[in-house]
Amino acid sequence: MKVTIIGTGLMGCSLGMALKKNGHHVTGVDQNPVHLEKALFIGGIDDYKEFDDAVKEASLVVLCVPVDAVKNLLLPVLDILSPGAVVMDMGSTKAEICSAANNHPKREQYVAVHPMAGVEHSGPMAAHVDLYFQARVIICDAQKSSTPSLNIVLEILQEIRMKVIFMDSEDHDRQLALVSHLPQFIAYALASLNDFSSEDNKDWVQLGGGGLQSSIRLGKSAAEMWIPIFDQNKGHLIEYIDKYMAKLSDLKIMVQNNQHIEMNDNIKTANTNYEKLNYRNNKPRPFVPDKGASRVFYS
């Protein structure tokens, strides 16, 4: 299949590597020529072209750009997309993007996709052929895409062994605000505290251990990616920020007043929630033999 990847950063190049391994031809599009050369160098794309040519020739166009750029590019792509071809995006927010596409006459040729496979790094040089391997991927508002469009996307996603989930785009954005956008926001808040620059805490780098490191790991993520996500999911995000701040206030009062029983109850809930997530992420997975460059389906 001829695939055009728009945006040759970490997500785009990792996808390109996996698709090339499965025998597809991958063309890159990027406004940054340095990214395109790096993408070629690491094998994330086969070649690169201008936007119009690359879109018109493709059977599948994948938007691997920040969600504000997805919103700007999706309709121009649909405008010139060939009959029978499909465009999918890889954005972390879905409601605003789907809503922007809903009135386009070629809406059926768009599939809204969110792969749950980000890392805190960015750029083509951070790409990895196995970034998506066995990760979950959400397809939103599938009933608005045509069956042939869905099948093209499903084939690709299952080839690279992602595990597909269907969701409504509004439900997606609300739940992702809790499990992804809020943790990102609070890591930025912690890691940007002015106290890390104060003379009082001049030893913080020396003293900070693994606990601090995992707490601010997401603080490394790029502003270009996350500011548009916060923008597009503002409503749900702010609702959860408020709930989180209310919880911080409650726990702070428990510390102030030595309310050990109430504190203990909250910590037990935290222990349990961690275990639930940890169990799911680490439970044994079925063994799937690797067939190299041949197409392997996995569900």
Residues 116-135 close enough to bind a copy of itself by CB under 8 A: 116-120, 135
If one asks whether residue 194 binds a copy of itself (CB under 8 A), the answer comes out as yes
If one asks whether residue 199 binds a copy of itself (CB under 8 A), the answer comes out as no
Nearer to a copy of itself, 4 or 221 (CB): 221
- Chain residues 257-276 in contact with a copy of itself, contact rule CB under 8 A: 258, 260, 263-264, 266-271, 273-276
If one asks whether residue 245 binds a copy of itself (CB under 8 A), the answer comes out as yes
Residue 192 contacts by C-beta under 8 Å, 6 or more apart in sequence? Answer: 219
Options 32-40, 71-79, 149-157, 245-253: segment touching a copy of itself (CB under 8 A): 245-253
If one asks whether residue 220 binds a copy of itself (CB under 8 A), the answer comes out as yes
Options 36-44, 51-59, 69-77, 237-245: segment touching a copy of itself (CB under 8 A): 237-245
- Chain residues 84-123 in contact with a copy of itself, contact rule CB under 8 A: 116-120
Residue in the structure block whose two tokens are 């996995």? 298
Residue 53 contacts by C-beta under 8 Å, 6 or more apart in sequence? Answer: none
Q: Binding residue for a copy of itself (CB under 8 A) from 51, 133, 188, 298?
A: 188
The two three-digit tokens of residue 19, written as one number: 């698709």
Size of the site for a copy of itself (CB under 8 A): 91
Q: Binding residue for a copy of itself (CB under 8 A) from 109, 145, 149, 184?
A: 184
If one asks whether residue 256 binds a copy of itself (CB under 8 A), the answer comes out as yes
Is residue 74 within 8 Å of residue 100, measured between CB atoms?
yes
Q: Binding residue for a copy of itself (CB under 8 A) from 33, 83, 105, 210?
A: 210
* Nearest in space to 226 (alpha carbons), one of 184, 189, 187: 184
CB of 99 to a copy of itself, least distance (A): 18
DSSP codes, 105-154? TTGGGEEEEEES---S--SGGG--TTTTTT-EEEEESGGGS-HHHHHHHH
Nearer to a copy of itself, 103 or 258 (CB): 258
Options 32-40, 46-54, 77-85, 171-179: segment touching a copy of itself (CB under 8 A): 171-179
Nearer to a copy of itself, 52 or 275 (CB): 275
Q: Binding residue for a copy of itself (CB under 8 A) from 72, 76, 255, 294?
A: 255
Where helices occur in the chain by DSSP H, the ranges are 10-21, 33-42, 51-57, 67-80, 95-101, 147-159, 169-176, 182-191, 204-207, 210-216, 223-232, 234-256, 260-282
Q: In the 3-class helix/strand/coil scheme, how is 144-193 assigned residue by residue?
A: HCCHHHHHHHHHHHHHCCCEEEEECHHHHHHHHHHHHHHHHHHHHHHHCC
If phi over 0 gives left and psi between -120 and 50 gives alpha, with beta otherwise, what is residue 137? beta
